[in-house]
């Protein structure tokens, strides 16, 4: 909470740095795991530490196309006799003959009797006589068995989200399947009599329900299963029925709209009756109102209705909650310093997430400008942006030329 000395704080507003850890304390990681084939592991979260069963690479192999030989043999002559071939997947199986070499390709096993590879561009071939020009040091161009990992070394840690690189790493160590945490299910719906689903005509006073689609996009980024319950009218019984269906079938119930002070907003009233919900007023802009609690066995998050507010609160609050529930450790936020190129008007009191474009100026330094009008209903400001400028709670007007904190949109928001 804010100290009494902060004259411009709205009473009851909580700084997100205080509120978010309190919210995170109230959710637990799932313990349920399942085994999935590697081909279906993308985006999933590892439920166990994995060690390599193999040395990596599993055998000494060449990093170049060229000739493998024993460096000491060059003491007698730089010209060696070709004894055979080692191709990728087809090792040389002959005996060692003093003064010999084998033709070798990238990735092919380096025969045990040899210790060095010379790239072919630095050799001369005359029939079966190969001259090594300006040889490198012993071991040159040989990728040694176990140089990346030894059998038994830990490769991936429990709680790692499997991305493209991890897919490859898992295959490298021969893992055809992998134990991951169960996928969470998030049920979501929009509330508001003014909202119409896309594909229908708008009557006067109506708008399309956009939040359900930005939320759907965010849920897909979060790699959860979802249950889309559509638009629910501002009608107490319809909202009650939707909450019941959602909480019976999901780990998290997510709604947008109806958490601020509004005449036709029944959400609060019904949540009070059906679950244990707290209405948080967070010192962030956009996004002040946020409802959180338990609805049956499900976690409930009520996002504000304004389209930018709902995305920002999802990004700052719901995403970390989902990540914890999925079994991920706390994810660091990438924050950079950049020079602001346009002035920003701001009242002290809330942390502001201004939608922004981060780039480099001609001198190669990071610069950032806002995307223009920052109304919390203007979703195009999110679409134009590649980052947030984050202005601290007590910051006021910020002139061009100021150095500001910028959080680039990660994969989560793009």
Enter the tokens of residue 357: 């474009």
Distance between CA atoms of residues 147 and 95, nearest Å: 26
Partner interacting with residue 260 (select from Mg ion, ligand AMP, none; CB below 5-8 Å by kind): ligand AMP
Residue 257 binds to ligand AMP (criterion: CB under 6 A): yes
With binding defined as CB under 5 A, does residue 192 bind Mg ion? yes
209 contact, one of Mg ion, ligand AMP, none, CB 5-8 Å limit per kind: ligand AMP
Report the first-to-last Cα separation within the chain, whole angstroms: 33
Alpha-carbon gap, residue 302 to 297, rounded angstroms: 16
By CB under 6 A, is residue 307 in contact with ligand AMP?
A: yes
Q: Residue 66: name its binding partner from ligand AMP, Mg ion, none (Cβ under 5 to 8 Å by kind).
A: none
Provide CB contacts within 8 A for 406, sequence distance 6+: 335, 336, 337, 338, 356, 358, 366, 368, 387, 388, 389, 390
The binding track of 222-261 with respect to Mg ion, each residue x by CB under 5 A or -, is -----------------------------------xx---
Q: Which stretch binds Mg ion (CB under 5 A): 164-172, 298-306, 382-390, 406-414?
A: 298-306
Residues 382 and 311: beta-carbon distance below 8 Å: yes
Stretch that binds ligand AMP, among 4-12, 75-83, 179-187, 258-266 (CB under 6 A): 258-266
286 interface partner picked from ligand AMP, Mg ion, none, CB below 5 to 8 A per type: none
* Residue number, 91 or 257, with CB nearest to Mg ion: 257
Contact code string over 259-288 relative to ligand AMP, x by CB under 6 A: -x-x--x-----------------------
- In whole angstroms, give the CA distance from residue 326 to residue 29: 6
Q: How far apart are CB 262 and Mg ion at their closest, in Å?
A: 6
Tokens of 352: 């502001």
Tell me the C-alpha distance between 136 and 86, whole Å: 20
CA distances (Å), 30 to each of 325, 326, 329, 411, in order?
A: 6, 6, 12, 23
Least gap, CB of 187 to ligand AMP (angstroms): 15
Cα 163 off chain centre by: 9
Residues 192-211: x where in contact with ligand AMP by CB under 6 A, - otherwise, as a string: x-xx-----------x-xxx
Q: Report how many residues bind ligand AMP under the rule CB under 6 A.
A: 20
- HSE-up of 19 (CA within 13 Å, CB side)? 24
Separation of alpha carbons 412 and 221, rounded Å: 6
> In the complex, which residues of this chain contact ligand AMP (CB under 6 A)?
190, 192, 194-195, 207, 209-212, 256-258, 260, 262, 265, 304-307, 377
Contacts to Mg ion by CB under 5 A: 192, 257-258, 305
């Amino acid at each position: 909470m804010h100290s009494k000395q902060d004259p411009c704080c709205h009473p009851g507003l909580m700084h997100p740095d205080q509120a978010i850890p309190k919210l995170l304390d109230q959710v637990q990681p799932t313990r349920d795991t399942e085994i999935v084939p590697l081909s279906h592991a993308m985006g999933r979260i590892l439920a166990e530490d994995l060690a390599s069963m193999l040395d990596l690479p599993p055998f000494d192999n060449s990093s170049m196309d060229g000739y493998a030989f024993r460096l000491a043999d060059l003491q007698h002559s730089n010209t060696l006799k070709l004894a055979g071939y080692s191709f990728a997947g087809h090792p040389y199986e002959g005996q060692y003959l003093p003064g010999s070499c084998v033709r070798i390709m990238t990735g092919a096993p380096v025969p045990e009797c040899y210790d060095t590879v010379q790239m072919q561009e630095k050799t001369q071939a005359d029939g079966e006589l190969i001259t090594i020009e300006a040889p490198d040091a012993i071991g040159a161009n040989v990728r040694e068995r176990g140089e990346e990992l030894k059998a038994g070394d830990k490769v991936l840690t429990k709680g790692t989200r499997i991305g493209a690189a991890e897919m490859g790493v898992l295959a490298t160590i021969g893992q055809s399947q992998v134990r991951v945490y169960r996928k969470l299910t998030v049920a979501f719906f929009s509330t508001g009599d003014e909202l119409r689903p896309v594909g229908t005509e708008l009557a006067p006073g109506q708008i399309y329900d956009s939040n359900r689609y930005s939320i759907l996009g965010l849920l897909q980024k979060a790699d959860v299963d979802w249950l889309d319950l559509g638009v629910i009218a501002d009608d107490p019984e319809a909202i009650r029925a939707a909450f019941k269906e959602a909480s019976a079938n999901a780990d998290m119930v997510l709604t947008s709209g109806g958490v601020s002070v509004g005449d036709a907003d029944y959400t609060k009233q019904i949540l009070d009756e059906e679950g244990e919900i707290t209405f948080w007023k967070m010192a962030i802009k956009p996004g002040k109102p946020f409802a959180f609690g338990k609805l049956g066995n499900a976690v409930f998050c009520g996002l504000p209705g304004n389209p930018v507010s709902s995305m920002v609160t999802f990004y700052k609050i719901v995403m970390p909650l989902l990540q914890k529930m999925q079994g991920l450790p706390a994810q660091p936020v990438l924050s950079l310093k950049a020079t602001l190129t346009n002035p920003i008007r701001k009242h002290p009191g809330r942390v502001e997430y201004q939608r922004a474009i981060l780039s480099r100026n001609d001198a190669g330094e990071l610069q950032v400008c806002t995307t223009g009008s920052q109304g919390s209903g203007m979703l195009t400001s999110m679409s134009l942006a590649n980052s947030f400028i984050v202005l601290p709670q007590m910051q006021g007007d910020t002139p061009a030329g100021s150095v500001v904190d910028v959080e680039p949109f990660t994969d989560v928001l793009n």
